[in-house]
Structure 1
Amino acid sequence: MFGPTEIVGAVLAFAVLLLTYGSLAAAGANMLGALVGVAVGALGVLAFSAFSPIGSMTPTLAVMLGLAVGIDYCLFVLARFRAELREGRSVADAIGRATGTAGSAVVFAGGTVIIALAGLAVVGIGFITEMGVAAAVGVAVAVLMSLTLLPAALKLMGRNALPRREHGGGTPVRADRIGFLDRWIKLVVRRPVTVLVGAVAGLLMLAVPVLSLTTSLTTPGGEDPDSTQRAAYDQIADAFGAGYQGPLIVLAQGDGVQARLDEVTSGLATLGRVASVVPAGVNATGDTALLQVVPTTGPVDERTERLVHDIRDRADAVPGVNLLVTGQTAIGIDTDERLSTALITYLIVIVGLSLLLLIIVFRSLLVPLIATVGFLLSLGAGVGVTVAVFQWGWLDPVFSAPQGNPMLSLLPVLIVGILFGLAMDYQVFLVSRMHEAHVRGLDPVEAVLDGFGRTAVVVVSAATIMTAVFAGFALSPSSLIGSIGLALTAGVVADAFVVRMIVVPALLTLLGRGAWWLPQWLDRLLPHLDAEGRALDESSPAQLGHQVGDQLRPSVPVAVGSAAQQVAQSGQLEVADPSHQGPAAP
């Protein structure tokens, strides 16, 4: 599950954590939480294999996602903990508020990823469902680690989670903002049309290779073009025709099969793209015959697919005889078609889910629509880059996996499910802060600047870490793991650095207050979901010992936020040391 390239990716992720925190203890705790989560999730998946065999790629996918989201989720909670310490709160108070705010967002974001992965079951193909459920288990364990093991580690670290100069309450390091990002968001809100057009045009260009996407359940002759297996396959295809490598098996059934076998054979031979038809035998009762149909084209050729449909279309052409088509080639064609159909259904399901959840969270119609369109742009860019590399053969010296083959049929479905969840992570963590600023009364441009300034550094760090992890898997010698890793690498870069950092802020700036519009009748019908524990931030320190529920906007916070709010309202949160008091968190 872990090779040299994957280890390099994990090391790069740790380096980014160290640069982000400026504290070895914080970076180590973050990485420890993620690695423990990966180990627990992988052991759980392997333990299940004792009861039911699983595919060789299933644990690898669980490790890939578990490591990436585990690092990110711990990062979100730890970054909020450090921010609370800088506001002057005690260690216990900071842990409670970080878990109740960022932890609530982690629960919501992780739940979205889990739903997207478990939703792969709608495809109705066993190994796809198996991979989706295993990956969902890995993500669920990562969420639990960020809410259990990490808070315990934060208690042990205390103020050591901050850089050394801040351990004794020194001047805080200006870690919540980076000058470049400040200048960048000011450019976006100052010239929203220019940056928006450029960003969308760039993403569409990256998505162009999707138009030539070719998928196959297997690669004829093996995926390695330099192997002796592929050489033998090519020699046979050149000498006898590509169709001999993937013949179709036709089953003729009916009371008159034996008497009409010649008629069935000649009928099949008259179809286009048929090299030969050879009867393989008739059973003892004479009501079932087996025929081998050799196409003139290869197993993954579109003309072979049309031949399979032609045979099925004339299945009852001979009176009293019914034809059925099977064999490895036909099974591959059927599975590929089923996955293509399921992809459309799956896209509709998760896009609909995305719109509904984001409408509830952001109390807006246009913001969820922007988020969903942004996800589709990221998806197109991720798949487009993968097609250019693994199907077209670009950058062949860089990637060790074989190139120039059709993409595996299951790749688009897996990428849709995984990237959807990751895209919603960034949307929730970034835009929820903009929404919070808007609710506080800031005008649209100020809300974008304020929300971006509070979360951009953390989102950039999280996306960089996830990119490093996925890039390590992209260099895998396996075509499946390599293509998934590259698609997720390109997709995360496109989503985090282009869609969420350019497209979304530019559109929110252009739409102004209209971006947050929601019909009153719909606002009354929808539940109020506090996905980032904002109710905690609305409570002032003087209110911690009183019931303030009636003064807050009615809401249904997620479990972690609700628990933290109850603790806050009961007066059980430890009062910060007066020497470290600072302004209340916004």
Structure 2
Amino acid sequence: MSSLLARIARAISHRWKRSLAFALATLVVLGVLAGTANPPADSFDVPGADSQQAYDLFRDHTPAFAGGDATLVYTVEQGRITDARPKAAVQAALAKVKQLDGVISVADPFAQGGALSRDGRLASVDVRYSTEAADIKKKDGEDLEKAAEVPEASGVQMSQRGIVVDTAQQQAQAPVGELVGVGIAIILLTLLFRSKAAMGATLFGAIIGVAVGQMLLAALAEPLGLPSFATTIAIMLGLGAGIDYSLLIIGRFREQLAAGDSTRDAAAKAAATAGTAVVAAGLIVMVAIAGLLVVGIPAIGKMGLGAAIGVFAVVLSALLILPIMMGAIAKRLRPKEAAHVDPSPGFARWGSIITARPWLAIAAGTLALLVFAFPALDLRLGQPDDGNQPTSKTQRVAYDALSEAFGPGSNGPLLLAVDTPDRDAQTDAQVQRISAAVAAQPGIASVQPPITSEDGEMATIFAVPTTSPQDARTSDLIERLRDDVLPAATRGTGLDVYVGGTTATFEDFSAKVASRLPLFIGVVVGLSVLLLVMAFRSLLIPLLSAVLNLLSIVAAYGAVTAVFQDGFGASLIGVDSGIPIVSFVPVLMFAILFGLSMDYNVFLLSRMHEAYNNGDGPRDSVVHGMARIGKVVLFAGLIMAAVFLAFVTTDDVISKMFGVGLGLAILIDVLIVRLVITPAVVLLLGDRAWWLPGWLDRLLPNVSLEGHAVESVDPQAPAAPREKVLA
């Protein structure tokens, strides 16, 4: 691989004008394809789950309960909502709502049994669509908001929530997180390279990779069914990884220039060494993220596939775009002083300190990881509800008003789907008994009379919990209904009852993720270890790397739990405490962090391995490797963490969760695992660190990360004198 990458980089850097023209033409073609593509609707099906079976029944027999929905909340400050003027205003608005495309039913709050608060100041209206939730468009929500408005003179205030409203609220926000991350990256890259040209080339390569990734995702979204959130993950991951990959290659290119290589030779050697490490690291990230396909939930698997496409794009950019920059601005990329690319004396000293007391370094690092990991013992999967929205948003206003009027459970009713294919008088009595059994349960605030479908083949029971959708007691209630109450109530009846609704769906989502997590971890860890064995021709290093990665990931889980569930520092990022961890966040974090941790692992170990192959002993190879790459790993980690942490500036709590989790995890991994524990472990392993059984060595393909086969094709200029780094 290293020879192939060297030939490509040499050719591109030598003919950079032709390569630039080809790259621009490719970008135009990709832009056209992306601009003409239609994004698919997001789908959150959970195959085989109880809530999915309920949804399928609704779709076949009661489409109103399978479609999109919204809740309109009308309130008055003075008087009652049933007074003549406010009532007339609400009724006029609801008449307009009924005329909207796709609206199949609009509840009448003023009819018998309508949803009016006890004090008479609030009216709640359920609006249901024949359009499935996944197919709701932004225009549907905008039309609803316009139709549901009431004149200010009526004294009525309107707020709303639901999937239709959420879709309408989705709007292009200023990329504050991305801009903050890029701004911090500019500062750190300038400090690292002490060169504006090197900083610009690194950033340019990364941004082009992210742009290509976004265009690929747009073009492939419809045929692959990629969810919309995949683009957010791809931007977060692509920007951070792209900068890391580019700075590694640009840094090695500048080293080779300082050593006297020509532009072509320096580009070839940078691609053969750092470029090969980037391919290995990027491949591990892609394998880890694409491994989400084994979770068994289409939305999560495709989210991982989309993120893997984003990483593929930044790897491609690092290998094909950077050589163009090398050829175009080689003179400006050449270090002005040898000290700018010399081994770091500070990291050489740090390597000496770590290797002097390796067991102490391992113990201290492990203790720190365990401290960070401790809160993860209480990690609870769930789904944040509208109670976590900013107080200025209409969903939060509606949520709070409904909670005050009808209790927090009114924001997440359970929809029990009763399959009644052979309906008769006895069946109706059995459905009534099921309803009574549910109503008698602790944790149930109210149960509406069963609603029979028009074809008579199913009945729907609305049950309102006493607790909010994200409350752990609501999860316990759903589990109790499914495991105990409903089986007992249907025994001997031949009826099947499924607990559905948004709250139950997210519970099933979480349960499915948890059940498939061991398989997912096994696949990701196994494939990643295999790739590292191939790259380093070592058996122990990949196995220990996997163990250290798992420790850093658990520490990241603990950090997220401490912030969002326990509220440690939550107010600083604009969220409340007690928020459950979104079900797909831990599994996505695992995939992303395992891959990115291997990035830094490959960067660090490749230089140690290179020093070992050049004749250094175990201790000297660690010290010299740290001197060469330690500063790069540190700055790469700081940049990646900054990119992730900048996403806490968004309003979306899930994006905040990813930003905090991934940002803190990268800092933990780089500062503790890579720069403290790993050097100590490599030293203690000694020569065994790079040992591989002969039969396995012959069986696996040989991937050189050091690029020994690269030969110079241009006369070498005399290198500037170097100052040796002392161990």
Scaled by the length of structure 2, the TM-score of the pair is 0.69
- 1:175 partnered with 2:341: yes
Deviations 1:317-359 (A, max 9, x none): 1423222221122112111211222333322221122222222
- 1:159 partnered with 2:331: yes
2:586 match: secondary structure: helix
Match of 1:540 in 2: none
The whole-number CA distance in structure 1 between the counterparts of 2:453 and 2:415 is 15
Asked if the contact 1:444–1:509 (Cα under 8 Å) also holds between the matched residues in 2, the reply is yes
Asked if the contact 1:355–1:369 (Cα under 8 Å) also holds between the matched residues in 2, the reply is yes
Scaled by the length of structure 1, the TM-score of the pair is 0.85
The whole-number CA distance in structure 2 between the counterparts of 1:37 and 1:301 is 41
The whole-number CA distance in structure 1 between the counterparts of 2:344 and 2:667 is 19
Match of 1:70 in 2: 242
1:258 match: secondary structure: helix
Q: How does 1:350-429 map to 2 (within 5 A)?
A: 350-400=524-574, 404-429=578-603
Asked if the contact 1:217–1:335 (Cα under 8 Å) also holds between the matched residues in 2, the reply is no
1:164 match: secondary structure: coil
Match of 1:145 in 2: 317
- 1:121 partnered with 2:286: no
C-alpha displacement at 1:138, in angstroms? 1.8
1:177 match: secondary structure: coil
Asked if the contact 2:376–2:557 (Cα under 8 Å) also holds between the matched residues in 1, the reply is yes
- 1:261 partnered with 2:431: yes
1:485 match: secondary structure: helix
C-alpha displacement at 1:205, in angstroms? 0.7
The whole-number CA distance in structure 2 between the counterparts of 1:283 and 1:174 is 75
Match 1:497 to one of 651, 664, 671:
671
The whole-number CA distance in structure 2 between the counterparts of 1:300 and 1:512 is 51
- 1:42 partnered with 2:181: no
Match of 2:715 in 1: 576
C-alpha displacement at 1:460, in angstroms? 1.8
Q: How does 1:271-420 map to 2 (within 5 A)?
A: 271-283=441-453, 286-313=456-483, 314-315=486-487, 316-400=490-574, 404-420=578-594
Match 1:107 to one of 267, 279, 287:
279
For structure 1, the 5+ residue unaligned runs are 166-171, 537-564
Q: Which has the larger radius of gyration?
A: 2
C-alpha displacement at 1:582, in angstroms? 8.4
2:427 match: secondary structure: coil
Deviations 1:496-544 (A, max 9, x none): 12101111111222232333343334333333222x14332xxxxxxxx
- Return 442-451 or 232-241, whichever deviates more: 232-241
Alignment-mate amino acid for residue 367 of structure 2: A
- Return 431-440 or 377-386, whichever deviates more: 431-440
Deviations 1:267-288 (A, max 9, x none): 3345454344433223466553
Alignment-mate amino acid for residue 589 of structure 2: I
The whole-number CA distance in structure 1 between the counterparts of 2:403 and 2:176 is 37
Asked if the contact 1:225–1:402 (Cα under 8 Å) also holds between the matched residues in 2, the reply is no
C-alpha displacement at 1:293, in angstroms? 2.6
The whole-number CA distance in structure 2 between the counterparts of 1:286 and 1:20 is 71
The whole-number CA distance in structure 2 between the counterparts of 1:196 and 1:581 is 38
Asked if the contact 2:287–2:528 (Cα under 8 Å) also holds between the matched residues in 1, the reply is no
Deviations 1:45-104 (A, max 9, x none): 234457788655332222222211111111111111111112221111111111122111
**Residues 50/253 of structure 1: CA separation in 2 closer, same or farther (3 Å cut):** closer
Match of 1:168 in 2: none
The whole-number CA distance in structure 2 between the counterparts of 1:582 and 1:502 is 31
1:361 match: secondary structure: helix
Asked if the contact 1:402–1:479 (Cα under 8 Å) also holds between the matched residues in 2, the reply is no
Superposition CA RMSD, Å = 2.7
Match of 2:708 in 1: 535
Match of 2:387 in 1: 221
Q: How does 1:81-92 map to 2 (within 5 A)?
A: 81-92=253-264
- 1:470 partnered with 2:644: yes
C-alpha displacement at 1:482, in angstroms? 1.8
C-alpha displacement at 1:367, in angstroms? 1.2
**Residues 156/262 of structure 1: CA separation in 2 closer, same or farther (3 Å cut):** closer
Match of 2:689 in 1: 515
**Residues 308/482 of structure 1: CA separation in 2 closer, same or farther (3 Å cut):** closer
Alignment-mate amino acid for residue 305 of structure 1: S
- 1:193 partnered with 2:193: no
For structure 2, the 5+ residue unaligned runs are 1-172, 723-727
The whole-number CA distance in structure 1 between the counterparts of 2:454 and 2:651 is 49
